Structure 1
């Protein structure tokens, strides 16, 4: 699967049911030695789609539980 195919999917938190953002709005953290994706950094988006401040959330690759047709389910906390 290509990143372009993933970029329009919504990130949904399994624990809370909240929408975290769109994958295309995230930054990737990549291991330079292996090329593996380690994490996504999700910026806070304010009105009109602009980044809001320096706050962001980090989602580790191992927190991804399911990649579906329209969304990616992640588990940010164990509850």
Structure 2
């Protein structure tokens, strides 16, 4: 799959059914040695998405459960669950 095919897909947390953002509004952390995507960096937005708070949610690629035609399903562990 190409990065351009991922862009624009909605990111959804499967446990809470919460929209986290769109891929394209996020940053990717890429392993320089092998070119693999390691982490999605999802910014925390406030004021209807116009201003970033500076915080970000770091989601390891291994937490992505399904990439569909319109959305990417992510399983973010609770704080008390092992990662």
Per the normalisation by structure 2, the TM-score is 0.85
Alpha-carbon distance, 1:48 to partner: 5.7
Residue 23 of structure 2 corresponds to: 23
Residue 54 of structure 1 corresponds to: 54
**CA pair 35-11 structure 1, distance change in 2 beyond 3 A:** same
Unaligned residue ranges in structure 1 (runs of 5+): none
8 A Cα contact 1:27 1:42, kept in partner: yes
Per the normalisation by structure 1, the TM-score is 0.89
Residue 36 of structure 1 corresponds to: 36
Give runs of ≥4 in structure 1 deviating > 2 Å: 45-51
Q: For residues 5 and 35 of structure 1, what CA distance do their matches in structure 2 show? A: 17
Alpha-carbon distance, 1:23 to partner: 0.7
Alpha-carbon distance, 1:5 to partner: 1.1
Alpha-carbon distance, 1:52 to partner: 1.5
